[in-house]
A and B are shown apart, each in its own frame.
Chain A
Amino acid sequence: MVDVRLDGLVKNKGLFQCLECGKCATSCPRCMSGKEYSPRLLAHKVIAEREDEAFIENAVWECLTCDLCSERCPSGVDFSGFVIEMRTLLAETKGLKGYRAHDGAVHSWMRMMTVPELKQNRLGWINEDLKVSSTGEIAYFVGCAPYFDVFFSGIEVNTLAISRDSVRILNFFDVEPVVLADERCCGHDLLCTGDRKNFEILCRLNYEAFKDAGVKEIVFSCPECYYVWKEFMPQVCKGFDLKVTLLLDLIEREVNRGGMTFSPFSRRVTYQDPCRLARMVDKVEVPRKLLRMIPQLRLVEMEHFGHGAVCCGNSAFINCDAYSKFIQIKRLKEARATKAQMMVTSCPKCMIHLTCAMRDKVRGGEWNMELVDIHTILAREMGWFKG
């Protein structure tokens, strides 16, 4: 049974097309940080040496699903997709494995949200100057920021600023988005750690909740949430008919209509591409275009950028270790090398992970850099053209 499904996976995800050229391994940030792990070897084992179960089971949990290997693969193997499905398969047959950072607390709160009766109070962050509503056609999907800011208060990240600024931007365009008090996690981390069952429950609960609020279009600032809603919701929820919009796309659309202007922001900045946004949904240019519109802002690129950007070191809160830190420091060093004064990203998780790395007690100062979300900058500098 497992074999049948595995065969299906190998076929669907294009593993047979593997040429064993090794580009995946040499691009894999984890492999390049010294971890004994290679996408190529995993592919080989799954195709040819499937009896080495121990190896396969171990290696499947090592991947960051950053998709850089797929990006580089000349044969179009969807390796990240393969790993995600493999994890689901292994979790179903062997139980949830892989070691979870923070002792699995993040995954636990996500699983807690699968309880339909759960009542959440997640709107405490909405300031008086923000206008939101409980019903309407356009909604804003907040994501895990209210939880992150509590859980990661120790490293002083402010991911809720992203949510506030996103609502501010929507208000700017005269949209009073629907924000749900009982919105659930999008389930991305559960999906990527193999917990497909609970992932689907979250999908359905979310879908029902937004339908009940009369929503027709949902706007996202978080790349992971956007990726999940765009790619997986139609698979999971039958008759899915909500319009899914990335906030950056919406801004770009509005900007193109004209009449808007940006106040000058005299900074040299560099942009960290989130893997979900850059590679999984191919939004490399939109953020860059918006940043370049800001007068006096100078965008400089790191050594690896765009589709080839290096991961922030972690995904789905698994496998956080010394190698992750190595990747993060490498990334921070790249950023420092650009002599940029500020690093801009568009993903709360990039922000959390890179901030954590910067909080190094001993050498933190060497890598420290101002790290700001793109929505924050846009919300601050955006204005109507006053002729």
Chain B
Amino acid sequence: MINNSPNKIPQAAVLLLGAGYGAIKAAQDMAEAGKPLIWVTRAPHFLEVPLGKAAFTEWPEDLNFQFRPLYLRVTRHPLVTALTRTHVESIVREGEGYRVTLIQESPFVDYDLCTGCARCMEVCPLKDTTSPPLKRTPPYCPSRALDLDKRKKAPCREACPLGVNAQAYIALIAAGRFSEALEVIRRDNPLPGICGRVCHHPCEVACRRADVDAAVAICELKRFAADWELKAGKRPTLPPAGHKRQERVAIVGSGPAGLSAAYFLAREGFNVTVFEKESQLGGMLRIGINAFRLPRDILEMEIKAIEELGVEFKTSCPVTNVEELFEEGYKAVILCLGAHRDLKLGIPGENLPQVMGAVEMLKQVNMGSLKKLVGRVAVIGGGNSAIDAARAALRLGAEEVTIFYRREKGDMPALAKEIREAEEEGVNFTFRTAPVSIRGTSTVEAVEFIRMEMGEPDESGRRRPIPVEGSQFLSQADYVIVAIGQETDWSSLGGEFRWKDDRGRIVCLNGMMTGRPGLFAAGDVVTGPGTVVESMAQGRKAAADVADYLLGIEVRENEVTSFPGADYKEVPKVTEKLERVEARSREPHLRVKDFSEISHGLSEDEAIYEAKRCIQCAVCCECLACEEVCRSIGAIDHTRLPRTISFYAPAIVVAREEELADKKMLSEKQVHYIGSFNEATDIVNVLMAGSAAAGRAIMDTPSFGERKKGSRRTRLFQGDERKIGVFICTCNGTMAPTSVLENLTHLASLMPGVEKSALVFSACHPQGAEQIAREVRKNKLGRNILLSCACCPLEFQCISCNDQRNRVRLHLFNRLGLDRSRFEMVNMRDGLGYGMWSDNRMLARARDLLRESYFRLQFLGPLQEGQTSLGRSVLILGGSEVGIICARILDLQGFRVRLVHRCRIKGEELPSDVARRSLTEVEGQGVENISEAIVWGIKGHLGNFETRLEIEGRKRVLNSDIVCLTDLHLLPLAIPEGTFGLKKFYRYNFAFFNTPQIGLYRVMPRTLKRVSAGQAGAALAAHVASAAAEAYLKDHELSPRVDETRCRGCGRCVEICPFRAVTFKANSFGFYTAQVLRYNCVGCGGCVGRCPVTAMDMPYFSNRFLDDIVPFIFEGGKEPCR
């Protein structure tokens, strides 16, 4: 983020592979030693042990919390590019190092942007389920960013030809959010009311709930959503086009394909005209589907919704010549003619007037020209048209309706529900019969059938019917309806059309485009008779192709909306069986009397019950509700693609061998393995090993990386101290209700001196911080209040810190160059109790916080950063293996190293093992070897040590920036272990070489018990390198000052300081005064609180301030704001 935005991945960096505590320590050492680092793990964050290993589970949880500050410091270090959910694709030799290729999985949540506001979690329809897709990262992971669990596309969604996101709308219905469910449907399907009634729902076939009990009634749920809107008194509306385009597109035919094409083109902003040869719109939806299945008002309303998008419909307007349309100025034409001409049986007697095609018959019924049908009706065929025709005939008054089908019942292409309903209504079925001839002279009298028997399966998987010789029989009939299929009626287009095949279907050559550029086709005219949703899918595809054609897009990038890797959620095994809800319908004997709709649809309770049966296979349902609430933050994007990163790595540090594809690499010279640990390993071993690996990697890369030269002090923006700015973070609307915060902003603007008071959508967001910086610079604000969740402006992370708080400060003070000493930061989030308190109470509390911070503001003042210069000379006392290795590594790093091989403390004997030690001169440009010396004493501090030595009988004083004690018998030279101030070492620094004197390092016997001397030497070198990484030690500007007349030298401050930032210096009274080493200090103020005589004081959070504010709060001071 702040430094490692996607575009800023370094060309060359050390690769650190794997999460865990050793990796954190290695990252810290390398980064602080100035080595750019790319840190990679498959895990979602670096604290988690990856690949399901639970090696460190017995470690106390609070250890994780102790690592939080370190984790924050390291992962947001300027030289560290931390990539989670990333794996190594390849590592190949290149020059002296490696070329590393990484693949980062789709980062659906951008951790550099996520503010952790959790709005997404709130709006997620699946938040209350057993596996919510959005979860916070675990508490010990300080980013607390959101983690999105996304699997491959749900099977229902994959099965839908239109790709309607069934999982999402089911999830939303289950959550009672019906209008949003409808919105989700309409993204892909403009006709939910129609499809909810007549769709053949392949989604339900694919549904994995069937493995438990029965498929979810997805289709009914869709219908429910559409009906709910009507019941709520709203009319169907579709999302309008974003922008208008000039191009005109003609669509011939207003059936499902045409309507769908019209909708998707209109949504793209094209001017669409639909030509319909009939007097009413809808094509087969109107002609071929009975009103009792699809009420006409639904049909009309949904078409009307498309019309309202600006689509022009022309009825009774047959197109006779396609070329004329192009001449009229249409840039593209889509032919959606459908398949309206009934196929013929081709048997004698078919020309009798009482013999009708099913579509022809239904068209007459639905257009109102056929109102009555008396007598016996024989329907031939087994598809939906046959059923529709048969049921229509019943309602027209037929006494007896029989469907004759040549195969078995189970082979019927009609929907099972349709067949069942027809049976209920009294339609007779005769299977395994095929017509031979129709008898009658002027009218139909009977039909001659032949029995069939079932033979071998044919290419459709069904068994082939074979006529049984001599089984002919006659069946009395007054009407015969032939429903054996349809083909396109080419009569209106003049019969002669170039782009069709011999079956009368249009041949598409390029997507949905015919051989004529600009002429497209979709629906039954391309595929032969299909279902509504298939035709709509064709229409949508054609629309997309038309858009590409008109906009000149050659290849459209694959839209990835699904995470390809992870598999579906498992079908729950123990789920209790829940019965599938079927919609209630009118009684059969009543419903056959009219054409009113027979199904009542689902009630609200039934719909929610049914929707809750859904397994939510893909976990995240991609309803995109989260994306909507995250719009201003931009952290969530369901369409982010995996990315590939390639860089040069001079060395590789491996924390987890599992993450390395080729384990043989571990033996290579530039690959450093932190080590494998078992459950007996303790944390110190792991950290030591991390440090040692970092040391070896630093040795591999002597000339790599940079050491900051000279002053890093930048010019910070100062502003006019009289001008005050107040910035209030809304945390993407989760801080408090908007009215409260607006009120607060107004109150702030009334306070004396306030030049600018503004709401910031998220202070930790790059743009939020930029907004603050812009206002500060524009209005020259010299003192500022920021009410957000960040508690302090310090350059420091404590145990309370998290990624967002850290980011606020990194953005404002490091990236945008504001002065941290001019900011008063208040943690308003913890104080407001959003969700528990009334608005008034929240406002009162926020007002108090504002008043207090305004009060504190008067104590803000500019502070200067000081610095102490630091060279790179190191004195190593003790020529053991530890010392020699450390000296070598440091020499390669460009340090000026002096190594005293045999060394004893004045007045003590040289131990015999050291005395016998053979003196190997350490070679190197910079290493000055001193074979023997007696140490008289060490004085000074980091950057300025004076070591008094006696060399060959002559006294010498050696100056160095750092001193290392590598022989055990020299340990007394370090300040002893029991010295105050030492006890909290491990808690905060996880460093094993430290002494109470920063810059003076030692190797303890217990360290050598854990690791080899070589490892210890490397780790010590890493430690030294990181301590001397910068050319100067930056003083902490907010560190306490000591009033020397008050300080009693009691040492409580020295004792409490975990950072060794307080020491003693002699005073004129003959005892000692505390002294703050400002380059060690972090400004936490622990010493100030501990001082019994208030001799310590902070620059602006001062004792005087506290003295003033306490009465102010308790006794009611002068109000700074009205």
Contact = CB atoms under 8 A, between A and B. Distances in A.
B1064 A322 contact: no
B353 interface: no
Contacts of A359: 1050
Interface stretch (B70-78, B792-800, B1069-1077): B1069-1077
Contacts of B1054: 361
Contacts of B1103: 103
A363 interface: yes
Interface in B1053-1087: 1054-1055, 1064, 1067-1073
B17 to A, nearest CB: 46
Given A101-B1092, A361-B980, A322 B1050 contact: no
Contacts of B1093: 101-102, 320-321
Interface string A345-364: 00000000000110111110
Interface in A116-166: 154
B252 interface: no
B1051 A362 contact: yes
Contacts of B969: none
A10 interface: no
Q: Which of B1045, B1046, B1051 is most buried by chain A, counting CB atoms within 10 A of its CB?
A: B1046
Q: Which of A35, A154, A325, A362 is most buried by chain B, counting CB atoms within 10 A of its CB?
A: A325
B1048 A361 contact: no
Interface string A298-333: 000000000000000000000011111110010000
Contact of B1072 (A102, A154, A326, A363): A363
Contacts of A99: 1094
A102 B1090 CA distance: 9
Interface string B1026-1064: 000000000000000001111111111011000000001
Contacts of A323: 1045
Interface string A340-383: 00000000000000001101111100000000000000000000
B1072 A322 contact: no
B118 interface: no
Contacts of A324: 1048
B1094 A103 contact: yes
A356 B1051 CA distance: 11
A360 B1092 contact: no
B1045 A360 contact: no
Given A103-B1094, A322-B1046, A361 B1069 contact: no
A321 B1064 contact: no
Nearest to A101: B1093
B1075 to A, nearest CB: 12
Contacts of B1072: 360-363
Given A320-B1092, A321-B1095, A329-B1071, A361 B1049 contact: yes
Contacts of B1050: 356, 359-361
B1043 to A, nearest CB: 8
B1069 A360 contact: no
Nearest to B1048: A325
A322 B1073 contact: yes
Interface residues of A, number: 23
Interface residues of B, number: 26
A321 B1045 contact: yes
A360 B1050 CA distance: 5
Contact of B1047 (A35, A103, A322): A322
A361 B975 CA distance: 13
Contacts of B1092: 101-102, 320
Contact of A362 (B1043, B1046, B1071): B1071
Nearest to B1055: A361
Contact of A322 (B980, B1052, B1055, B1069): B1069
Interface string A269-300: 00000000000000000000000000000000
Given A101-B1092, A102-B1092, A361-B1064, A329 B1049 contact: no
A116 B500 CA distance: 105
Contact of B1071 (A320, A321, A325): A325
Given A320-B1092, A361-B1064, A329 B1070 contact: yes
Contacts of B1048: 320-322, 324-325, 356-357
Contacts of A361: 980, 1049-1051, 1054-1055, 1064, 1072
Contacts of B1070: 326, 329, 363
A326 to B, nearest CB: 4
Q: Which of B1044, B1055, B1092, B1093 is most buried by chain A, counting CB atoms within 10 A of its CB?
A: B1093
A322 B1067 CA distance: 9
B1073 A360 contact: no
A325 B1044 CA distance: 12
Contacts of B1073: 322
A315 to B, nearest CB: 14
A363 B1071 contact: yes
Contacts of B1049: 322, 325, 360-362
Contacts of B1051: 360-362
A360 B1046 contact: no
Interface string B62-74: 0000000000000
Contacts of B1044: 322
B576 to A, nearest CB: 58
Q: Which of A101, A322, A329, A357 is most buried by chain B, counting CB atoms within 10 A of its CB?
A: A322
Nearest to A97: B1107
Contacts of A362: 1049, 1051, 1064, 1071-1072
Interface in A239-288: none
A323 B1046 CA distance: 7
A356 B1093 CA distance: 12
Nearest to B1106: A103
A143 B1078 CA distance: 43
A359 B1043 CA distance: 20
A321 B1049 CA distance: 9
A322 B1103 CA distance: 18
Contacts of B1067: 322
Contacts of A321: 1043, 1045-1048, 1093, 1095
Contacts of B1043: 321
Nearest to B1090: A154
Contacts of A329: 1069-1071
A101 B1070 CA distance: 22
Contacts of B1064: 361-362
Interface string A87-126: 0000000000001011100000000000000000000000
A323 B1043 CA distance: 12
B654 to A, nearest CB: 45
Q: Which of B1047, B1048, B1050, B1054 is most buried by chain A, counting CB atoms within 10 A of its CB?
A: B1048
Interface in B332-348: none
Given A322-B1048, A325-B1049, A360 B1071 contact: yes
B470 to A, nearest CB: 114
Q: Which of A321, A324, A361, A362 is most buried by chain B, counting CB atoms within 10 A of its CB?
A: A361
Contacts of B1046: 320-322
Contacts of A320: 1046, 1048, 1092-1093
A127 to B, nearest CB: 30
A99 B1046 CA distance: 11
B980 to A, nearest CB: 6
A322 B1065 CA distance: 13
A324 B1044 CA distance: 12
A325 B1069 contact: yes
B1105 to A, nearest CB: 13
12 contacts: A34-B1069, A99-B1094, A102-B1092, A321-B1043, A321-B1047, A322-B1045, A322-B1049, A322-B1069, A322-B1095, A326-B1071, A360-B1051, A360-B1072
Given A34-B1068, A361-B1054, A363-B1072, 13 more contacts: A99-B1094, A102-B1092, A102-B1093, A320-B1048, A322-B1048, A322-B1069, A323-B1045, A325-B1071, A326-B1069, A356-B1048, A361-B1050, A361-B1064, A363-B1071
Which 3 pairs between the two chains have the least Cβ-Cβ distance? A361-B1051, A321-B1046, A325-B1048
